[in-house]
Structure 1
Amino acid sequence: MSTAQEWEGSQRGRDAAEFARLADGNARQARKRVSADALVRDENGRILLVDPTYKPDWDLPGGMAEANEPPRDALRRELKEELDLDLPVGELLCVDWVSPHGPWDDLLAFVFDGGTLPADRAHALHPCDPELAAVRFCAPNEAARLLRPYVWRRAQAALTALERGVASYLQDGHV
C-alpha cells in the first residue's frame, strides 16, 4: 500500500476544514530541489562522465527530479532521455546537501550505483539529447580534474560507499 493510500484511509471521517488547514501548512513549507545521478563504471573501473552543454564542467550522468518524482525514477528517466540507457538503478551510495550558491537554492543530490557496463555497451554510449555534448569514461584521477571539486568529492564518497557497502551523507561534498 502506498503512503498516499495509507494517508487517504486515515483521513476518512475528517472534515474539509482540517484538510484545508493541512494543505495551507504544506503550501508554506520550504521545497527542496532534488537531483539524482549514477555512478556507472566500465569493465576497467573507469567512471562515466557527461559534458552538459548548459554548464562549463563535466558531471555524473543524471539530472533533476520533477515535482513529486522519486529520485530513483528521476535517474532512470534522465538516463533514458540523455543516453538511451536503461539501467537497473542500484543501491543509494550517498546523499549530498548542497548549500545555496549563485542563483540556486539548496539541493539534495542523490547518487545511486549504476553498475558496470560491458565493453560493447560502454563503447556504444553517445549523447541522445542536445543537453549533452559528449560522454566518456575516465580514470578517477582524470575525473578529479574534469569535475567541479564538490562533485568530485561526491563521486569519491560514492566510490567509497561501493567499497564499504555503507551509504554516506555529505554537506557540500564533505562527510
Structure 2
Amino acid sequence: MTSDKPLYERDPAAWAAYLAEGNASQPRKRVAADLLVRDEQGRFLLVDPKYKPDWDLPGGMSEANEPPDETVRRELNEELGLEVYVGGLLIVDWVSPHGPWDDSLMFIFDGGVLTAEQAQGFQLLDGELRAYEFCTEEQAAERLRPYVWRRTKQAIEALASGRPQYVRDGNPTD
C-alpha cells in the first residue's frame, strides 16, 4: 500500500537528501553588490581597484551564502573603513557570460548622501584600492567601463524615479 502523503511528510530524511542532491547539482551564480553613494554636491563615489584597469562603484563580490546588502556593508568597511547605510535596491543586473566568466547577478543599492565630514573620513585599508573620488555623472561615464556605466546610469534613474529596475548587461528590459 502506498501512502498518499508527499515524500516530505512520509520520509523527512529522504526529502532532505533529495534537496541536498538538487542543491549540489544545480548551477550557482556569482553575485556582487555595489553602493551608489553621493556627497552633498550630488557627485558619486567611485573607487579605483588595483586589480583591474578601470574605476568602479564601491562594493564587491558576495561570499558564500552572504546577502547582497551585507556584501556592500562588509566591502566598504574592509576597503574604506566606512560604516555605510544600505538603503533600497536600485538595480538588479543580469550580466551575460563574457571572457572566462559565467553569468552573474549584480545589485546596486542606494547608499544615501554623505555629509562633508563623512566624505572626508575614508581610508584605503586593505590594499585592493588605488584611490577613491567623488565624481560627476560626466566623470563617471569617462572612468567606468561602458557596461558598468550603463548599469550605473540605470541606478541613477531608479534613484530619481523611486522604482527599482531589472536590467540585462546594463540595458533596460522593457
Are the aligned partners of 1:126 and 1:135 in contact in 2 as well (CA < 8 Å)?
A: no
**SS state at 1:51 partner:** strand
Give the letter for the 1:65 counterpart.
Answer: S
> Residue in 2 aligned with 1:120?
117
1:12 Cα deviation after fit: 7.4
Aligned to 2:142: 145
Write the distance in 1 (CA, Å) between the matches of 2:136 and 2:85.
Answer: 23
- Secondary structure of the residue aligned to 1:105 is coil
In the TM superposition, residue 126 of structure 1 has moved relative to its aligned partner by: 3.1
Q: Structure 2 regions of 5+ residues with no counterpart? A: 1-7
TM-score in terms of structure 1 length: 0.91
Distance 2:154 2:125 in 1: 28
Secondary structure of the 1:124 match is coil
> What residue is the counterpart of 1:7 in the other structure?
none
The 5-angstrom pairing of residues 42-121 of structure 1 reads 42-121=39-118
User: How far is 1:13 from its partner?
Assistant: 6.6
For structure 1, the residue ranges without an aligned partner over 5 or more in a row are 1-10
Note if 1:36 corresponds to 2:33: yes
| TM-score normalised by the chain length of structure 2 | 0.91
Amino acid at match of 1:158: A
Shift of 1:123: 2.2
Task: List structure 1 runs of 4+ shifted beyond 3 angstroms.
Answer: 11-15
Contact residue 126 and residue 134 of structure 1 kept, 8 A: no
